[in-house]
Amino acid sequence: MYLKGKKIALVIDKNFEDSEAVYPYFRLIEEGAEVIIAGPLKATIINGKWGYPLKSDIAIEELKATDFDGVIVPGGYAPDLLRRYPHLLNFVHEIFNQGKLVASICHGPWVLISAKILSGKRVTCVPAIKDDVINAGASYFDEEVVVDGNLVTSRNPFDLPAFMKAIITFLGKK
């Protein structure tokens, strides 16, 4: 139970990339962390891009940075919806400023861009949004995982093992 006592927010909306939410969810639970799924509404079934259903534990509006050790933003089409929630952007910004884990994969960095935390950072993402992260002031690297302080990013589902290893390592040091 390497991460016993850690509490992580996993934020999703409709059409999240199934594997990028489910793999971190179960992997963190396996390590002893508490994973709270946050969605637009509390206690609602949200289907991934490929149909995998996850049930939200809390509404995005209920997120408080002081209650969590980190946040994970999976990719898929959901980040384009998630970046429209001012409360979520403030939550991610606060988590980042507190030095807690901010992890994102695939299209997830869209949320980080809108939270205004990428300027001067080293990141990776799906190539389709490479220009977006560069325009936000980040340096893009085509690597399976990039860690810059408390920021952990990956490109796609094939990078999930490296992504989770970096997340677990970061959380284990805190």
Instruction: Give yes or no for a contact between 63 and 94, defined as CB atoms under 8 angstroms apart.
Output: no
Q: Which of 83, 107, 121, 130 is catalytic?
A: 107
**pLDDT exceeds cutoff 80 at 55:** yes
Q: Per-residue confidence at 174, pLDDT binned at 50, 70, 90?
A: confident
Asked whether residue 1 is assigned to any structural domain, the reply reads: no
Q: What is the per-residue pLDDT across 58-81, written as a single tens digit (0 to 9) for each?
A: 999 999 999 999 999 999 999 999
Query: What CATH number does residue 74 fall under?
Result: 3.40.50.880
pLDDT number for residue 152 = 98
On whether residue 156 sits in a domain, the answer given is yes
Please give the structure tokens belonging to residue 73. 């933003």
Alpha-carbon torsion, ordered 93, 97, 102, 105, to 10 deg: 60
**107 catalytic residue (yes or no):** yes
End-to-end CA separation in angstroms for the chain: 15
Task: Say if 154 falls within a structural domain.
Answer: yes
**Domain count across the chain:** 1
Helices (H) and strands (E) in the chain — how many of each?
6, 11
What confidence score (pLDDT) does residue 104 get? 98
The single-letter code of the amino acid at 156 is N
The dihedrals phi and psi of 18, each to the nearest 5 degrees, come to -50, -55
Task: Over range 94-122, report the average pLDDT.
Answer: 98
Does residue 2 lie in a domain region?
A: no
Owning domain of residue 61: 7-173
What per-residue confidence (pLDDT) applies to 1? 79
